[in-house]
Amino acid sequence: MAQNPDEKKRNEFLYFAMRNNKLKIGAAIILFFLVLAAIGPLLTDNEPTAFAGPMSDPPSAEFWFGTTFFGQDVFAQFVVGLRATFLVGAIGGGLATVIGMLVGFIAGYRGGIIDEALNVLTNIVLVIPTFALLLIIAAYLEVRGLFMESVLIGLTAWPWAARAIRAQTLSLRSREFVDLARMSAMKPLRIIFTEIAPNMMSYLVMAFILQFGGAILIAATLDFIGLGPTTGFSLGIMMQYAVLWGALPLGTWWWFVPPGAAIAAIVGALYFMNVGLDEVFNPKLRET
Amino acid sequence: MRRYFSRKLLIYLITFFLAVTIDWLIPRLMPGDPIQNMLSRAALNANAAETMHTYYTHAFQLDLPVWQQYLSFWNALFHGDLGISTYLFPTPVAKVIKDAVPYDIFLLLPSILLSWWAGNKFGAFAARTKRLDNTVLPIAYLLTATPYMWLGILLAWVFGIILGWFPIAGAYSFTMGTQLTWVFVGSVLKHWFLPFASLFLVGFGGWAIGMRNMIIYELEADYSHYLEALGAPRRLIRRYAFRNAILPQLSGLALQLGVIVAGALVTEVVFSYPGIGYLILSAIQNQDYFLVQGCFLFIIIGVLLANFLIDIAYVIVDPRTRKGMVGE
Amino acid sequence: MSLRVEDLTVYYQTLRGDVRALENATFSLADGEIMGMAGESGCGKTTLSNSLILLTPPMRYIKGRVVLDGQELPVSDIDGMNRYRFKEISVVPQYAMNAMNPTRKIGKMAEELLRSRGIDAHRVLPELKRRLDLVELDQDVLKMYPIELSGGMKQRMVMVLSTLMNPSLLLADEITSALDVSTQKAVAEMLVGFRDHKIVKSIIVITHDISILYQIADSILIMYAGQLAEKGPTETVIHSPRHPYTKLLITSLPKVGAKHDVTQLEGIPGKPPLLLDPPEGCRFRERCPVAFEKCVEVPPFLELDPDHFVACWKEIESNA
């Protein structure tokens, strides 16, 4: 019964999505970096850790991003770091969105004491400066991997998503079409999947994008302090080494500018995309 | 209003309790033996080492049953005793923290308050015209997406190294001791400026965006349209919109405290600024778990206190909470 | 007072083109007249009322004149209209329930509104209190926040606020739609009271509920798909309508006492056209039972009987 209006809505979204500048620009930037992360290591012969060239060499035709203090290829490190960054964003952001979705949805849909209890939980996790907590936990573990870092981030970043999803669930729950479904004796699970979930899709997508960006930032910060993965590279680790090995006084800017710029560009593009998506999903915001 | 505060208080108390418990667990769950680490730096012979080990284990109460340690921890807390630092032995943790706190307050308070206020004003301003909106918005997004430490590094590099206008390490010149002279004050300010600017800029971007979105939302609200239809001047409509948009920005401030703590920490590391952030990192790297414990506790208390203050401010600013309408 | 609207045409700008929401609206209102504006959702009645007082994007003025009390209203000039708003022409909007700032006490908001319009709030205060009594609102509401009031109370408060400066023309947009039946009656009667007490001179009541109009309106204007269909005295439009659409509309109304196993409840088959690319000529012709070839030309809104205007070729022919 609800197929036609759903299809129309999806087509309407697609129509506006194609025309939204913010969405297009943001997506283009992300795509660029994704492609770079995917094929980057193929563009250079050098391993990120190999001592490939002269020390602290500025960018040249041979080393596009120059070399580090140890003579390593900055570009090689950069593309490997990009991969790590995207992974952390996806896993950490994804986990946070999933937890947030579960908590927020259950709290909003069930209401009552479950809602209260989940609210208290959410508020507590919100108030605790989770970064300090992350520091300490990360310090506990002697060997850390990228996956562990993502999981930790996901476990502490979910309250944002939980709140937003709970609010949306509350407003949807009291809408007429849900009442209608209830009155027609639809099973609760079916109601959730066929009536509520499609309307939540837009929120989930936007929440995921925000969490993705947030996870990247948190990971970069952890890495910079030295509490990131113990092996491997990430953009944050590159910056850490740069500062530790005197990139500032030596003026080897090509070592620390690209990683941070990439993060700022990626996260900024994500936020921008989000604004565009909001306009696509919310007719009121569309500019005529 | 009472319901509003009692709920908040409940959360704060539970959080505090949880935090203190986690905090107490820190040294006890850390890999390695803190006493051992401390002693290994003293290069004693085996016999002396063992005696000292027993002595310190007793001094740090690590030989008591666990529940007794827990209770005595709470007890010590209320007496303001946070133990002794092993990294900076024999300085008590409380004193180490006390020395670092002023720098944090000096750095954080102005940057948080100023970036919030300026960002909000600017966001409201940018929402006025389409052209301004379109040029300013991308910049603000970029600012808020910038990792704190990268901006710090950039500022240090451009203004510290290249232009040489500002120093990039420490809270004041290493050649000076703390004295109350103008020269000293000047040095402090010069060392303060770059970390402050770094924190300010990132925060500013975020608040500007938030406010701009809220203002647009309020300007599209029914009450704005009604005033328009009755011929009210734009400034009245904007004034109402601003006042209503500030409310979620205020609660947003409370939510951002965690992020601000992270940002401050990392900025302190970049500039070797001797605040709590820098301290906690040194403590972790030197495995001084008592110091870590104290710093973490201090950060928690600070954040809870800040939250509480913001809650009070919110009640003052939103008249509906006083009427018991907005429970949150 | 008198209102004369000539050929008012307003479109909505959208990404897919112009929505032709109002075409060549021409009618007039006499002093003291309460005119009802009725029609299906999307027929253009809110567009018309908004055009008279707040013509802002995405609405776009195409052509037409509006003359109020002998003065031409610069409806296409957003700022130029300001001196007329609230003082000569006012509105009780469709969203009256949310029309007041939720974080301001009602009295304070009223005071600030008046001050911002250069009116001495203090001198108006006693009159404001008198009006509150007129609509049976306790004077204490001025010290309350909008959220403390019920829907009906908020409606009445907005009615008082909007008419505080005794405008010549009041636009009342769906003021009874969100209320229960007994409150509807009370509010409708208050509206008439405003006119009778000379607080406002004339009122345009916009609604899709014809029964309300039957109670309080002197004349009714029926709209369809952005075009005016029929206008005449209430009795005439209800009991002897001439436009095919009006006829179908009236007969489709449920009648009290009629049992529906005996007399079928009939809707009007079909749907109104999308106004992005409307059909040429009379926009009702695709659903009209008596449409013929001439209907591809736009029928003029002619006065076929005294004070009775109809836009229908069939009726125009039968008059000739």
Least confident of A73-77, B58-62, C85-89: B58-62
Nearest by Cα to C221 from C185, C249, C255, C260: C249
Cβ–Cβ of B145/A270 closer than 8 Å?
yes
Does A286 contact C at CB distance below 8 Å?
yes
pLDDT of residue B12: 85
> What's the mean pLDDT in C235-243?
92
Cβ–Cβ of B232/C103 closer than 8 Å?
no
Q: What totals of helices (H) and strands (E) does chain A contain, helices first?
A: 13, 0
Share of chain C above pLDDT 70, in %: 96
| CATH number corresponding to C3-88+167-319 | 3.40.50.300
Cβ neighbours of B242 in C, within 8 Å:
none
What is the arrangement of strands in the sheet containing C227-233, beginning at the earlier edge strand? C89-92, C169-173, C202-206, C34-38, C219-224, C227-233, C308-310, C302-305
Number of Cβ within 10 Å of residue C243's Cβ equals: 27
Extents of the domains making up chain B: 99-288
Extents of the domains making up chain C: 3-88+167-319, 92-166
Q: Tell me which residue in B15, B30, B168 faces A140 most closely, judged by beta carbons.
A: B30
Nearest by Cα to C105 from B181, B217, B323, B167: B323
pLDDT of residue B30: 64
- Residue C237's pLDDT band, with cuts at 50, 70 and 90, is very high
> What's the mean pLDDT in B63-91?
75
pLDDT at B80 over 50: yes
Residue of higher predicted confidence among A34 and B43: A34
- DSSP symbol at B128: S
pLDDT at A166 over 90: no
pLDDT of residue A1: 44
Cβ neighbours of C14 in A, within 8 Å:
288
Strand C227-233 to strand C308-310: parallel, antiparallel, or no bridges (unpaired)? Answer: antiparallel
> What's the mean pLDDT in B165-170?
82
Q: Tell me which residue in A129, A243, A257 faces B270 most closely, judged by beta carbons.
A: A243
pLDDT of residue A3: 47
Cβ neighbours of A288 in C, within 8 Å:
13-15, 57-58
Cβ–Cβ of A131/B265 closer than 8 Å?
yes
- DSSP symbol at B30: S
Number of A to B CB contacts under 8 A, please give it. Answer: 144
Cβ neighbours of A16 in C, within 8 Å:
15
- Residue B200's pLDDT band, with cuts at 50, 70 and 90, is very high
- Residue A266's pLDDT band, with cuts at 50, 70 and 90, is very high
* Six-digit token string for B179: 């004295």
pLDDT of residue C74: 93
Cβ neighbours of A128 in B, within 8 Å:
15, 18-19, 258, 300, 303
Cβ neighbours of C13 in A, within 8 Å:
288
Q: Tell me which residue in A139, A218, A284 faces B220 most closely, judged by beta carbons.
A: A284
Number of Cβ within 10 Å of residue C208's Cβ equals: 15
**First and final C-alpha spacing in chain C:** 33
pLDDT of residue C130: 93
* Six-digit token string for B242: 């601003």
pLDDT at B129 over 90: no
Cβ neighbours of B259 in A, within 8 Å:
131
Cβ–Cβ of B231/C102 closer than 8 Å?
no
Q: What's at A59, amino acid-wise?
A: P
- Residue A99's pLDDT band, with cuts at 50, 70 and 90, is very high
A16-44 pLDDT, tens digit per residue, is: 777 788 888 889 999 999 998 888 888 77
C7-20 pLDDT, tens digit per residue, is: 999 999 887 888 99
Cβ neighbours of B30 in A, within 8 Å:
139-140
pLDDT of residue C16: 80
pLDDT of residue B277: 86
Interface test with B, best of A135, A163, A170, A250 (most B CBs within 10 A): A135
CA-based nearest distance B250→chain C, Å: 15
Interface partners of chain C (CB pairs < 8 Å, 3 or more) are A, B
> What's the mean pLDDT in A54-65?
81
Contacts of range C180-187, beta carbons closer than 8 Å, 24 or more positions apart: C180/C152, C183/C151, C183/C152, C183/C155, C184/C212, C185/C215, C186/C152, C187/C152, C187/C155, C187/C156, C187/C159
pLDDT at B325 over 60: no
| Under 8 Å between Cβ of C104 and C185 | no
Query: What's chain C's average pLDDT?
Result: 89
pLDDT at B328 over 60: no
Nearest by Cα to A94 from A259, A240, A211, A187: A211
> What's the mean pLDDT in A80-108?
91
Cβ–Cβ of C145/B323 closer than 8 Å?
yes
> What's the mean pLDDT in B263-272?
90
- Residue A2's pLDDT band, with cuts at 50, 70 and 90, is very low
> What's the mean pLDDT in C136-145?
92
Q: Which of A136-145, B58-67, C5-14 has the highest mean pLDDT?
A: C5-14
CA distance B32 to B22: 18
pLDDT at B110 over 90: yes
Interface test with B, best of C116, C160, C163 (most B CBs within 10 A): C116
> What's the mean pLDDT in B304-324?
82
Fold of the domain spanning B99-288: MetI-like fold (1.10.3720)
Binning chain A into helix, strand and coil, the percentages to the nearest 5 are 75, 0, 20
pLDDT at B327 over 50: no
Least confident of A192-201, B135-144, B238-247, C137-146: A192-201
pLDDT of residue C264: 55
Q: Count how many residues are written for chain A.
A: 288
Cβ–Cβ of B280/A264 closer than 8 Å?
no
> What's the mean pLDDT in C77-102?
92
CA distance B174 to B167: 11
Number of Cβ within 10 Å of residue B43's Cβ equals: 7
What is the arrangement of strands in the sheet containing C17-29, beginning at the earlier edge strand? C17-29, C3-14, C59-68, C71-72
A83-92 pLDDT, tens digit per residue, is: 999 999 999 9
pLDDT of residue C67: 94
Share of chain B above pLDDT 90, in %: 23
* Six-digit token string for C64: 């037409």
| Under 8 Å between Cβ of A106 and A60 | no
Nearest by Cα to C76 from C90, C91, C88, C63: C63
pLDDT at B59 over 70: no
- Residue B171's pLDDT band, with cuts at 50, 70 and 90, is confident
- Residue B99's pLDDT band, with cuts at 50, 70 and 90, is confident
Cβ neighbours of B230 in C, within 8 Å:
85-86, 90-91, 113, 117, 161-162
3-state secondary structure of B97: helix
Spatial neighbors of A131 by CB under 8 A, at least 6 apart, are A218, A221, B258, B259, B261, B262, B265
C292-317 pLDDT, tens digit per residue, is: 888 999 999 999 889 999 999 988 88
A224-237 pLDDT, tens digit per residue, is: 988 888 788 899 99
Cβ–Cβ of B161/A272 closer than 8 Å?
no
Nearest by Cα to C170 from C97, C93, C118, C99: C93
Q: Which of B57-71, B80-94, C160-174 has the highest mean pLDDT?
A: C160-174
Residue of higher predicted confidence among B12 and C257: B12
- Residue C27's pLDDT band, with cuts at 50, 70 and 90, is very high
pLDDT of residue A178: 65
- Residue C262's pLDDT band, with cuts at 50, 70 and 90, is low
Nearest by Cα to C157 from C171, C169, C174, C140: C140
CA-based nearest distance A226→chain C, Å: 48
CA-based nearest distance B234→chain C, Å: 10
CA distance A188 to A199: 16
pLDDT of residue A160: 84
Cβ–Cβ of A248/B300 closer than 8 Å?
no
Distance (Å) of CA A269 to CA A259, B125, B216: 15, 23, 21
| C 137-156: CB under 8 A from B | 145, 147-148
pLDDT of residue B232: 93
